[in-house]
């Protein structure tokens, strides 16, 4: 009887530990949390860019492993990029005059900490589709921090810091795209 009791107690203990670990699993970044608020950006973009940019290739992201750390995956980042372009008045679902490619070059994350600061470095390239002319080509690095006030769980703090770093990066991108000079209409033939 005592062996059965110990065995049952051991199983319950293991189950409790397993459930506790599941509660602390890493979760991927939320695309909606990475979309910046673009209200109040002034006059907006030059007319050549309004509703003219289609999101192109997005790469460099990493899938989140529930047993390791929160990351930003390519589909999550792409969704945030598309939504940011649309909400800023720059985006077009498909066949835009311009294509914006993005490479998540680095997501520098702390291993642990009460205040976790993440640095996101993303390289963007805006190309005029018809001519192949590169209109904008820049890597942007933005930091963001999440503290105990944001979340007690370290994995949640890291996810929040990731989302904030990407959101700040996308916000800076939009500010810079809004500052681009207007471009005349395309007169040359389309490159293949």
Q: Return the closest-CA partner of residue 120 out of 92, 99, 140.
A: 140
37 in any annotated domain: yes
Tokens of residue 39, six digits: 């209200």
What integer pLDDT is reported at residue 134 of this predicted model?
Answer: 97
The domain of 154 spans 25-178
- Whether 190 is covered by a domain: the verdict is no
Where does the pLDDT of residue 11 fall: very low under 50, low under 70, confident under 90, or very high at 90 and above? low
H, E, C per residue of 109-139: CCCCCCCEEEEEEEEEEEEECCCCCEEEEEE
Is pTM beyond 0.75? Reply is yes
So what's the pLDDT on residue 183?
Answer: 86
Question: What does the pLDDT read at residue 13?
Answer: 52
With respect to residue 134, please indicate whether it lies within any of the assigned structural domains: yes
- Does residue 73 form part of some domain? yes
Please indicate, yes or no, if residue 164 is contained in any of the structural domains.
Answer: yes
pLDDT at 36: 95
Residue 187 covered by a domain: no
Q: Which tops the pLDDT comparison, 76 or 64?
A: 76
CATH classification at residue 161:
3.40.50.10610
Residue 13 located in a structural domain: no
pLDDT at 44: 82
Mean pLDDT of 51-58: 96
Half-sphere exposure of 142 (CA within 13 A, CB side): 20
Domain count, the chain: 1
Across 22-26, 115-119, 170-174, least confident range: 22-26
Q: Does 188 have pLDDT greater than 80? A: no
Cβ–Cβ under 8 Å, residues 62 and 56:
no
Q: Is residue 124 part of a domain?
A: yes
Summarize pLDDT for 73-100 with one digit per residue, the tens: 999 999 999 999 999 999 999 999 999 9
**What is the predicted pLDDT for the residue at 15?**
43
pLDDT at 27: 83
């Amino acid at each position: 009887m005592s062996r059965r009791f110990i065995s049952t107690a051991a199983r319950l203990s293991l189950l409790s530990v397993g459930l506790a670990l599941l509660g602390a699993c890493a979760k991927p970044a939320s695309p909606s949390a990475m979309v910046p608020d673009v209200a109040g950006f002034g006059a907006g973009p030059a007319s050549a860019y309004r509703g003219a940019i289609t999101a192109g290739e997005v790469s460099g992201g990493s899938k989140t492993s529930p047993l390791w750390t929160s990351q930003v995956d390519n589909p999550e980042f792409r969704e945030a990029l598309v939504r940011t372009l649309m909400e800023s008045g720059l985006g077009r679902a498909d066949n835009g005059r311009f294509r914006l490619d993005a490479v998540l070059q680095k997501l520098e994350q702390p291993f642990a900490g009460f205040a976790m600061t993440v640095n996101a470095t993303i390289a963007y390239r805006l190309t005029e589709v018809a001519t192949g002319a590169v209109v904008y080509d820049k890597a942007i690095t933005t930091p963001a921090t999440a503290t105990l006030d944001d979340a007690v769980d370290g994995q949640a703090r890291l996810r929040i810091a990731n989302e904030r770093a990407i959101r700040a990066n996308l916000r800076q991108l939009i500010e810079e795209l809004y500052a681009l000079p207007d471009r005349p209409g395309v007169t040359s033939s389309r490159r293949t």
